[in-house]
Amino acid sequence: MKRQSKQSLQNMLAEYKAVTSPNVIHQLEQLAAPLKGAKVLHINSTKEGGGVAEILHKLIPLKQALGIDADWEIINGNQEFYQCTKGFHNALQGMNQSISEKLLRNYEKTNKENAERLNSKLKDADFVFIHDPQPAPLLKLTPKRRGKWIWRFHIDASKPYRNVWKYLREWIIPYDASIFSLPEFAQPLPHPQYIIAPSIDPLSEKNCPLPEHEIDNVFSEFNLDPELPLITQVSRYDRFKDPVGVIEAYKLASKLTPLQLVLAGGGASDDPEGEAVLNEVKQASNGAPNIHVLLLPADANRTINALQRASDIVLQKSIREGFGLTVSEAMWKGKPVIGGDTGGIRLQVIDHYTGFLVRTPEGAALRTRYLLHRRDKLEEMGMRAKRFVRENFLITRHIREYLTLMVGLTSGDDERINVGKS
């Protein structure tokens, strides 16, 4: 990853200070002091698309700004590799999906090639964060490592398909620690399992404030009706995000309340199933004039930002969800969220306070009608949602927990660790 100049990193810290508060940044600086100069390497499987890449794009420069020598690498694989890891993804989220021996051998071979390519960085790092199952074997394939290795798991693995988890677990066991987004996702492993929720970046193009005209532009750009209430779900085209259920909810709600729906998604380069799901969605929408199915490029961050801001309500009707960054993104823009009652969405949507948790398309339709009817509640929930994200789901909280984990890991098993001046 290209490093920013020292001045630009300092400016970035100043910007975060303005959005959060000076003592939030001061606390980070103090917490980072004992880690100054530490080599920290993050590895995942894609630079663009999906929440992990999005978080790393900001987490790495923020760590650098705090004096940590942070770096980010991705592992490269062929189509069969991504077919295998998508299979892992589905199986760990509970789908009964077996993976052929051929795909598994290719997965191992790909990791071996990547371990050789990245060898010097892997063995020299003080901390290596491996994100998700794609690069999990790198630890065993780096015998001369010296640092602490942490496996960061981003998806909802509360009920994994056992056969696949049994295979993957063997790669995970030797890690020094693992990180899950929610306690419910943690699995029996012989090392400490930290619980860290993901976060959004308030300064990114996807979340920064936008001028009114840019928000208004999305109506003409996507042929939306500025007079009709707008509900939106922003997500990859993935069955676990239940885009077809959202269309069903829209159809039910629109019988009584005039409205329009935007389904906005892009593909992630490590997701080979996106196209098939997009076709299912198009089929379900059946050309209805007020359902707008958008396939956006990976860098359409400002467009997504504008769509979320232009919406009255944002939906995230997932049936399994590791966290759901789009939930916090919408809440940060003062929108109430109607979310699936599952995984990380529960952490963000406090039922009846920052939005509603639903289990069915009928539930989503009911809550949509209610909020469009009760504008006062909609506004109130939106304001609470923004406050809740400011307190809990900004990247500054995320990095604080990463720093605490790193200090904690280097200090042994003690529950109380004193660092710095005394």
Partner 1 sequence: MTNATGDVQKKLPFAVKDCALITIATGIKVQNLKEFAVALKDVPLGSIYHHFWGRLLRALFDEPEYNNDFASWASRGLHDKSLAEHLSMVIPTDYKDLEGLRQEMVEVVEQHLDESEYVPWAKADQQFHFLKSQIVIFDTGLRYDHPAELVSQIKKLSTGSIYYHFIDARNRTEERHDDFSSWLNGFDGDEFNELTRNLCSMDPYFSSLKEIRLNVSNIFQKFLKKGEQ
Crossing angle (nearest 10°) for helices 375-392 and 325-332:
110
Task: Decide if residue 195 touches partner 1 (CB under 8 A).
Answer: yes
- To partner 1, the closest distance from the beta carbon of 369 in angstroms equals 25
Tell me which of 151, 153, 171, 180 binds partner 1, using CB under 8 A: 180
Burial class (CB in 10 A: 0-12, 13-18, 19+), 81: buried
- To partner 1, the closest distance from the beta carbon of 158 in angstroms equals 8
Which residues are CB-neighbours of 368 under 8 A, at least 6 positions away?
Answer: 231, 249, 250, 253, 257, 259, 313, 315, 338
Task: Decide if residue 410 touches partner 1 (CB under 8 A).
Answer: no
Please answer whether residues 159 and 94 qualify as being in contact, where contact means their C-beta atoms are separated by less than 8 angstroms.
yes
Tell me which of 9, 31, 277, 314 binds partner 1, using CB under 8 A: 31
Task: Decide if residue 26 touches partner 1 (CB under 8 A).
Answer: yes
- To partner 1, the closest distance from the beta carbon of 28 in angstroms equals 9
Q: Which of residues 351-370 bind partner 1 (CB under 8 A)?
A: 353-354
- Identify the DSSP state of 287: T
Which H or E run includes 110? Answer: helix 101-117
Secondary structure of residue 356 in the 3-state scheme: strand
Task: Decide if residue 390 touches partner 1 (CB under 8 A).
Answer: no
d(CA 232, CA 229): 10
Which residues are CB-neighbours of 264 under 8 A, at least 6 positions away?
Answer: 232, 233, 234, 235, 294, 296, 303, 304, 307
Q: Which of residues 327-346 bind partner 1 (CB under 8 A)?
A: 342
What 3 state SS string does 73-87 have? EECCCCHHHHHHHHH
Secondary structure of residue 422 in the 3-state scheme: coil
Task: Decide if residue 14 touches partner 1 (CB under 8 A).
Answer: no
Question: Total number of residues binding partner 1 (CB under 8 A)?
Answer: 48
Tell me which of 4, 30, 83, 217 binds partner 1, using CB under 8 A: 30
Tell me which of 143, 183, 287, 289 binds partner 1, using CB under 8 A: 183
Q: Which of residues 234-253 bind partner 1 (CB under 8 A)?
A: none
Q: Among 11-19, 115-123, 177-185, 213-221, which window interacts with partner 1 (CB under 8 A)?
A: 177-185
For residue 132, give the amino acid letter: D
d(CA 85, CA 132): 9
Tell me which of 188, 211, 287, 289 binds partner 1, using CB under 8 A: 188
- What separation, in Å, do the N-terminal and C-terminal C-alpha atoms of the chain show? 37
Q: Which C-beta is closer to partner 1: that of 144 or that of 416?
A: 416
Q: Which C-beta is closer to partner 1: that of 127 or that of 194?
A: 194
Q: Which residues bind to partner 1, rule: CB under 8 A?
A: 22-24, 26-27, 30-31, 33, 158, 180, 183-184, 186, 188, 192-197, 342, 347, 350, 353-354, 384, 387-388, 391-393, 400-401, 403-405, 407-408, 411, 414-422
